[in-house]
């Protein structure tokens, strides 16, 4: 029997709370579908800093490179806000992405019908929404050199210090994420919209030219359009259903995917998959994580919505284990629970109601799996 290896990194804040619900889901698949998971658990972010003095131990990094898939909860929180930049919780996450070379970050934004009235936009604008943002994840301004804050010891010299980050892309980095976007579009509605700011940035000009090159030479059958990212943000709010796949850089993708998340009703709904090059087993190196953060404002209160993390595990079933049918089953169970009106606090619409706890939401999804 195939055993699927999974490294769980719950992290900080609500990370461990939502991960506990994924554990229940994994247990259900083992008991009822005869699947076998080899699950290990380790620390990341502030939790790792507390134990090791850094946000990701080298042993954890090595383990992440060995397993079929990594599932991460969330990192960060107020307790760690004043740490030195190099050991902040977020650096642990960025190290995982960089050293695993997870260049394609898939962030789907789907509006479940049962939630269409909870979006901050009107039902007619978001009902049936199903878009996929493909965010470049290992380069751009997040990693470009030079970077840093220059020291200035001259007393009274206002304006002497300089903060620098560099937006830098190579053609190879653009081409590989563009290919990922075109491949995904072929399995969906065959349309890609590429977003940059070629009107003000040279890296944006290169982005546009290289995406066009990949299209013309390798994917002429896919419909390609280009849009400035600021207009893209406006169009996402004006008429999001015009999009199928959006491909964009690391920073624009970070911002646009948070905006897209709200179209679906809550940040607590949005999963993601970060994929790299194929490993020996033919599947991509991969890490899965909810798009939301550690939500310090609701930590420890049983209020967190575990759906984003559970749907991230569904993406692992699909992309890392080749279990597309089981992924569909899990997604159907989530849809059923929402249709039945089960809601965590973040999913409360204007009409109100009584929210369920994180744990009750997990239980409801597990119960729905049997019939899904
Ligand atoms: P956040 O996503 O943690 O929270 C934003 C808002 O959404 C909060 O009101 C929160 O309560 C709510 N929310 C988020 N997830 C929810 C869920 N599952 N259920 C219900 N409500 C939810 O973003 P933030 O407040 O900007 O950041 C807090 C910390 O998280 C920071 O340290 C930040 O760096 C970190 N962060 C980490 C990740 C990650 O680990 N991938 C992503 C974003 C932010
Ligand atoms: C995300 C987060 C991260 C990012 C932070 C926590 C490093 O906002 O995953 O969207 O900026 O990429
Ligand atoms: Mn973000």
- As for how many domains the chain has, the answer is 2
Give catalytic status of residue 130 as yes or no.
no
Report pLDDT for 264: 87
User: Is residue 262's pLDDT more than 90?
Assistant: no
Mean local confidence (pLDDT), 207-226:
98
Which letter does DSSP use for residue 157 in this model?
-
CA dihedral 313, 318, 319, 320 (to 10 degrees): 70
- Are 287 and 208 part of one and the same domain? no
For residue 254 and ligand 2, the question of a CB distance below 6 A is answered with yes
Is ipTM strictly over 0.90?
yes
The CATH number of residue 306's host domain is 3.40.718.10
Ligand 3 centre to CA of 158 (Å) is 32
How far apart (Å, rounded) are the C-alpha atoms in residues 338 and 58? 40
Report pLDDT for 17: 98
pLDDT band at 242 (very low <50, low <70, confident <90, very high): very high
- Are 276 and 372 part of one and the same domain? yes
SS3 (DSSP) at 120? coil
Q: pLDDT tens digits for 318-346?
A: 999 999 999 999 999 999 999 999 999 99
Task: Give a yes or no: residue 207 inside a domain.
Answer: yes
- Are 290 and 256 part of one and the same domain? no
User: Is residue 349's pLDDT more than 80?
Assistant: no
Task: Give a yes or no: residue 122 inside a domain.
Answer: no
pLDDT band at 185 (very low <50, low <70, confident <90, very high): very high
Average pLDDT of the chain, as a whole number: 95
Report pLDDT for 150: 85
SS3 (DSSP) at 165? strand
- Are 293 and 250 part of one and the same domain? no
Domain closes at, from 213, 242, 263: 263
Give catalytic status of residue 197 as yes or no.
yes
Q: Whose CA is nearest to atom 5 of ligand 1?
A: 295
Task: Give a yes or no: residue 113 inside a domain.
Answer: no
pLDDT band at 353 (very low <50, low <70, confident <90, very high): confident
- Are 23 and 98 part of one and the same domain? yes
- Are 169 and 242 part of one and the same domain? yes
Ligand 1 interacting residues, C-beta cut-off 6 A: 14, 74-77, 90, 93, 267-268, 289, 292-298, 304-305, 308, 346
Give catalytic status of residue 258 as yes or no.
yes
- Are 242 and 135 part of one and the same domain? yes
| Structural domain boundaries enclosing 256 | 130-147+163-263
Verdict on whether the full-model pTM lies above 0.90: yes
SS3 (DSSP) at 288? strand
Report pLDDT for 145: 97
Q: In what order do the strands lie in the sheet with 104-110?
A: 36-41, 3-11, 69-74, 284-288, 273-278, 104-110, 130-136, 245-248, 191-196, 223-228
User: Is residue 247's pLDDT more than 70?
Assistant: yes
- Are 74 and 169 part of one and the same domain? no
Task: Give a yes or no: residue 4 inside a domain.
Answer: yes
Q: pLDDT tens digits for 131-180?
A: 999 999 999 999 999 999 987 766 777 777 889 999 999 999 999 999 99
**Looking at the chain, which runs of residues are DSSP E strands?**
3-11, 36-41, 69-74, 104-110, 130-136, 144-149, 163-166, 191-196, 223-228, 245-248, 273-278, 284-288
Task: Give a yes or no: residue 335 inside a domain.
Answer: yes
> Which residues is 72 bridged to in the sheet?
9
Distances (CA, A) of 157 to 147, 153, 160, 162: 21, 8, 6, 12
User: Is residue 266's pLDDT more than 90?
Assistant: no
How far apart (Å, rounded) are the C-alpha atoms in residues 225 and 340? 39
Closest CA to 135 of 219, 229, 251: 251
Q: pLDDT tens digits for 283-303?
A: 999 999 999 999 999 999 999
Task: Give a yes or no: residue 118 inside a domain.
Answer: no
The CATH number of residue 259's host domain is 3.40.50
pLDDT band at 348 (very low <50, low <70, confident <90, very high): confident
Task: Give a yes or no: residue 117 inside a domain.
Answer: no
Closest CA to 45 of 342, 296, 341, 352: 296
Q: Whose CA is nearest to atom 5 of ligand 2?
A: 90
Q: Whose CA is nearest to atom 1 of ligand 1?
A: 293
Domain closes at, from 263, 293, 314: 263
Mean local confidence (pLDDT), 1-22:
97
User: Is residue 130's pLDDT more than 90?
Assistant: yes
Domain closes at, from 216, 235, 263: 263
Report pLDDT for 271: 95
At 268, phi and psi to the nearest 5?
A: -70, 5
Contacts of 26-32 with C-beta under 8 Å, sequence gap 24+, read 26/313, 28/366, 28/369, 29/326, 32/369, 32/370
- Are 294 and 340 part of one and the same domain? yes
- Are 257 and 329 part of one and the same domain? no
Q: pLDDT tens digits for 302-325?
A: 999 999 999 999 999 999 999 999
Report pLDDT for 97: 98
- Are 82 and 172 part of one and the same domain? no
Ligand 2 centre to CA of 254 (Å) is 7
Report pLDDT for 350: 67
- Are 138 and 237 part of one and the same domain? yes
């Amino acid at each position: 029997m195939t055993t699927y290896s999974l490294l769980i990194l719950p992290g900080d804040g609500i990370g461990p709370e939502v991960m506990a619900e994924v554990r229940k889901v994994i247990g259900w698949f083992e008991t009822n579908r005869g699947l076998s998971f080899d699950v290990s658990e380790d620390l990341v972010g502030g939790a790792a800093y507390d134990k090791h003095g850094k946000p990701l131990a080298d042993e954890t990094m090595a383990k992440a490179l060995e397993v079929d898939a990594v599932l991460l909860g969330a990192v960060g929180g107020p307790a760690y806000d004043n740490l030195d930049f190099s050991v902040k919780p977020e650096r642990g996450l960025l190290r995982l992405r960089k050293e695993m070379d997870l260049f394609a970050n898939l962030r789907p934004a789907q509006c479940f019908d049962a939630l269409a009235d909870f979006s901050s936009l009107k039902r007619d604008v978001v009902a049936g929404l199903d878009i996929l943002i493909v965010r470049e994840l290992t380069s751009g301004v997040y990693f470009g050199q030079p970077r840093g804050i220059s020291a200035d010891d001259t007393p009274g010299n206002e304006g002497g210090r300089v903060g620098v980050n560099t937006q830098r892309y190579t053609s190879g980095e653009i081409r590989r994420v563009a290919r990922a976007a075109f491949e995904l579009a072929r399995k969906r509605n065959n349309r890609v919209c590429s977003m940059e700011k070629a009107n003000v940035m040279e890296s944006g000009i290169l982005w546009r030219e290289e995406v066009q090159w990949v299209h013309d030479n390798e994917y002429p059958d896919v419909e390609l359009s280009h849009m400035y990212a600021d207009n893209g943000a406006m169009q996402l709010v004006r008429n999001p259903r015009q999009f199928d796949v959006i491909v964009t850089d690391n920073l624009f993708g970070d911002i646009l995917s948070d905006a897209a998340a709200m179209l679906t009703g809550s940040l607590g709904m949005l999963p993601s998959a970060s994929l790299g090059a194929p490993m020996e087993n033919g599947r991509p190196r991969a890490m899965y994580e909810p798009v939301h953060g550690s939500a310090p404002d609701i930590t420890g209160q049983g209020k967190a919505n575990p759906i984003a993390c559970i749907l991230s595990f569904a993406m692992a079933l699909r992309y890392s284990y080749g279990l597309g049918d089981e992924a569909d089953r899990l997604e159907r169970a989530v849809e059923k629970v929402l249709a039945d009106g089960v809601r965590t606090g973040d999913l409360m619409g204007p009409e109100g109601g009584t929210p369920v706890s994180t744990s009750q939401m997990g239980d409801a999804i597990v119960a729905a799996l049997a019939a899904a």
